Amino acid sequence: MKMPVPAVGCESEEELQARVVRGPLPRHVAIIMDGNGRWAAQRNLPRVAGHHEGIKSVREVVTCCRELGLAGLTIYAFSAENWRRPMFEIQELMMLLELYLKRELSTLMERGIRFRTIGRIERLPASVVEWIRRVERETASHQGMTLTLALSYSGRSEIVDAVRRVVSDVQAGSLAPSAIDEDLLEQYLDTHGMEDPDLVIRTSGECRISNFLLWQMAYAELYFTKTLWPDFRRRDLLAAFLDFQQRERRFGRTGEQLQGRAG
Ligand code: FPP
């Protein structure tokens, strides 16, 4: 039986990190950033102020995941449903995204981070798409960690698009229907070649997955925290990792089977 690990107390970030690195870390973490608007409202600021502050959390989380040697970090930055937001807010988010790409390219180069995107990128403004392609191109050979931004992304649309491509290949005669299985469908998803997330974090207290990585999170551990995204920093990420280390990932097996395997 696993011994309960004491909750995160008033220990320093260094002590917390030292505890975290003693246990198994997730290889791929996916994050639903939420609560930027509420963070701003609590301070009588416009919603976009929350997005500006949220960028600082993105930087801190990327840095921490890279330092801890994770293979992947995927961030839900703009959902397909977010196109329903007021035009002003969408424009501000696009501007922030472009700024982020311009500013962070040198950091991604220095730290060996590969950048990629998932979602219907072609819907984004042309200048943002140009920057995305440039950063993807320039970091394509990096092996350190893959940072994926989900932009104009919908898990259901991703699956629909994949099915369309499968059908098109079947009709063209290059794919036999009998060859269609889970591994094959995966190759048609935006995330092809990427490991499934082990841990999915959502901030702001909402306990739903909002059309994010529907296929890929089949076996992910889910972690919900009340912390609003702009307040979510290294310490909060480390607390999520500690919580992850308490989970018993059985993948359909029994606890006894796992103990037998371990012993
Ligand atoms: C959710 O909070 C946040 C978003 C939909 C956008 C997040 C975007 C950024 C932090 C900036 C751009 C991102 C990158 C990676 C450069 P919300 O607005 O839904 O908050 P609320 O639920 O409190 O209203």
pLDDT, tens only, 192-244: 999 999 999 999 999 999 999 999 999 999 999 999 999 999 999 999 999 99
Task: Tell me which amino acid residue 69 is.
Answer: G
Whether 224 maps to a domain, the answer reads yes
Rounded Cα distance between 207 and 35, Å, is: 12
Spatial separation of the C-alpha atoms in residues 204 and 197, rounded to whole Å: 20
Q: What pLDDT, on the 0 to 100 scale, is given for residue 263?
A: 41
In a domain, 148, yes or no: yes
Rounded (10°) CA dihedral 136, 138, 142, 148: -20
Is residue 78 situated within a structural domain? yes
Task: Please list the active-site residues.
Answer: 34, 82
pLDDT score of 142: 97
The answer to whether residue 190 sits within a structural domain is no
Question: How far apart are alpha carbons 156 and 160 in whole angstroms?
Answer: 6
How far is it, in rounded angstroms, from Cα 177 to Cα 170?
7
Report the CATH number at residue 32. Answer: 3.40.1180.10
pLDDT at 133: 98
Asked if residue 202 is part of any domain, the answer here is yes
What residues in the chain have per-residue pLDDT under 70?
1-7, 261-263
Tell me, using a 6 A CB cutoff, whether residue 155 lines ligand 1: no
Cα-Cα-Cα-Cα torsion 161, 162, 166, 169, nearest 10 degrees, comes to 70
Are 114 and 193 in contact by the 8 Å Cβ rule? The answer is: no
Question: How far, in Å, CA of 31 to CA of 201, rounded?
Answer: 5
Domain that holds residue 37: 24-154+196-244
Terminal alpha carbon distance of the chain: 12
In the chain, how many domains are there? 1
Measured from the CB, is residue 147 less than 6 Å from ligand 1?
A: no
> What spacing in Å lies between the alpha carbon of 141 and ligand 1's midpoint?
29
Q: What is the pTM of this model?
A: 0.93
> How much is the pLDDT for 248?
79
